[in-house]
Amino acid sequence: MTETKNEKFMGTYFDRDAVVRVSRWAEILSWVVAGVYALDLLLAVGVFVLQYVRGFWAGLGPTDVFTNLLYIVERPFRGVVYFIALQAIGKALLILMDMEDNTRRAARK
């Protein structure tokens, strides 16, 4: 009968590997979101240009065109907010783990 040595400190309420995985997935997901919103912006601008070239906007005034441009430009800002939030979540998890580790190290001295 062999006895295995438990190398993890059981005083923590979380699994370090799981926290690092969640942090990495948040960072990866943030880049996926940024890519999707960039593609959405590219497609929306392409559709707008095609509509303008084909004369769809010929009978409308400049305020209608600018309003449509505003809608096109507004959508990527949501993507920027999601990107920043997911990046912040990923970094905050790592910072909190470092704070916990430093607190334990200071308490041992």
CB 87 within 8 A of CB 95: no
Q: Can you give the pLDDT at residue 92? A: 95
Confidence of residue 62 (pLDDT cuts 50, 70, 90): confident
C-alpha dist (Å) from residue 32 to 13, 54, 98: 30, 33, 27
Residue 35 has pLDDT above 90, yes or no: yes
* Tokens 């979540």 found at: 89
The residue-averaged pLDDT of 44-71 equals: 88
